[in-house]
Amino acid sequence: MSVTVPSFSVISGAQVQDVLTGREKKMAELIESTYRLHGADGTVNPPSYFLRFPNRPASRIIALPASLGGDSAVDGLKWISSFPENVDKGIPRASAVLILNDPTTGYPFACLESSVISAVRTAASAALAADWLSRDRNRPTRIGFFGSGLISRFIHTHLAGTGWSFDEIGVYDVSASHSQGFREYLDRSAAGPVTVHASAQDLIESSDLVVFATVSGTPHVHTSDWFSHNPLVLHVSLRDLAPDILLRSTNIVDDVEHCLKANTSPHLTEQQTGNRKFVAGTLYDVMCGDVKIPVDRPVVFSPFGLGVLDLAVGNYVYQEIRSAGRLNIIEDFHSELRRYG
């Protein structure tokens, strides 16, 4: 049986943005279907691999291999760096590429700029969680962003693009200039009244929906009383909350095994308690009706970020560009195709 080796294409960040801009509802649908496929064992999602540097302890590069089954089967790898010091140099913290592999031959067929894909899948996941986790509670009307970088901007865009609006928007960042920059973005977006808070406590206590999107490597919020009004918390950066806060909350994750690793707040909570009883379940469990969300406790969604989500979004981008005839094909990329020359 003859098999055709796929051609290889490079897809730029500008092309990625062109495809994904304005498609927030489509991305929410895609992320939900991927979570459902993952929950039904239709994916392979091994642990992420961390490349760390002894002389640069704040920086890391992470490899996320994954395989997506179903009608849009694809294998691949996201290779994403996080260099927090970039922010002080005036460039974004994260950069990434995504490699897509043909599931029949294993040959790579595309390399995509993936910082935008990663931000979109993170934001779409957060917006989807906000929807599902508030269906049995009062829908939040006051949102607070703890951290004011690119991820917060994308989360706001995906919330707005999926029908959310807020009476009040709060911002807090340890950098006053970053807070002001994010406020200016919100003002340009006509998002509504914006308040820059002077403290983390003020932001949290003033918000029904709290978004944590920081670069913190260890918990820095320790006071559980700040959450006594039972907000919904999108704990996107994973390492902001002390274990005591999680132990007093209903905890939902994207994947238990993945999230309880790498010294995330849930992992630290497991180490402290010696068990995982504090985890109520996954977002898939909530979507299936197996986990009910109470109204009398804070709800914390901690998504580790699954490689299969990147694959789903990246493959969607590839198929859209391919259908439009706009692939940048690298001729002869796969050049050695005869076994004996």
Per-residue model confidence (pLDDT) at position 191: 77
Helix (H/G/I), strand (E/B), else coil: 185: helix
10 Å Cβ neighbour count for 6? Answer: 17
User: Which of 196, 301, 188, 198 lies closest to 241 in space, CA to CA?
Assistant: 301
In a domain, residue 341? The reply is no
Helix (H/G/I), strand (E/B), else coil: 69: coil
- Both 176 and 297 in one domain: the answer is yes
- Both 204 and 235 in one domain: the answer is yes
User: Which of 18, 91, 87 lies closest to 58 in space, CA to CA?
Assistant: 87
- Both 108 and 225 in one domain: the answer is no
pTM as predicted: 0.94
Structure tokens at 298: 């804070």
Structure tokens at 7: 């051609």
> For the chain, which residues score pLDDT lower than 70?
1-2
d(CA 173, CA 102): 42
Helix (H/G/I), strand (E/B), else coil: 43: strand
- Both 154 and 215 in one domain: the answer is yes
In a domain, residue 297? The reply is yes
Per-residue model confidence (pLDDT) at position 1: 61
Exposed e or buried b per residue across 233-263, where buried means at least 16 C-beta atoms within 10 angstroms of its C-beta = bbbbbbbbbbbebbeebbbbbbbeebbbeee
In a domain, residue 280? The reply is yes
Answer yes or no: are the C-beta atoms of 246 and 265 closer than 8 Å: yes
Report the number of distinct structural domains present in the chain. Answer: 2
In a domain, residue 315? The reply is yes
- Both 34 and 78 in one domain: the answer is yes
- Both 204 and 279 in one domain: the answer is yes
In a domain, residue 126? The reply is no
Q: Give me the CATH number covering residue 201.
A: 3.40.50.720
In a domain, residue 287? The reply is yes
Range of the domain at 12: 8-117+307-330
Per-residue model confidence (pLDDT) at position 195: 96
Q: Give me the CATH number covering residue 77.
A: 3.30.1780.10
- Both 318 and 274 in one domain: the answer is no
- Both 201 and 160 in one domain: the answer is yes
Q: What is the residue whose two structure tokens read 């198929």?
A: 319
Helix (H/G/I), strand (E/B), else coil: 95: strand
In a domain, residue 2? The reply is no
For CA atoms 26, 39, 50, 146, the dihedral sign is: positive
- Both 298 and 325 in one domain: the answer is no
In a domain, residue 127? The reply is no
Residue 72 burial by Cβ neighbours in a 10 Å radius (0-12, 13-18, 19+): middle
Residue 4 burial by Cβ neighbours in a 10 Å radius (0-12, 13-18, 19+): exposed
Residue 135 burial by Cβ neighbours in a 10 Å radius (0-12, 13-18, 19+): exposed
pLDDT digit string, tens, across residues 286-310: 999 999 999 999 999 999 999 999 9
Answer yes or no: are the C-beta atoms of 215 and 82 closer than 8 Å: yes
- Both 285 and 178 in one domain: the answer is yes
- Both 138 and 277 in one domain: the answer is yes
Residue 282 burial by Cβ neighbours in a 10 Å radius (0-12, 13-18, 19+): buried
d(CA 291, CA 283): 9
- Both 165 and 180 in one domain: the answer is yes
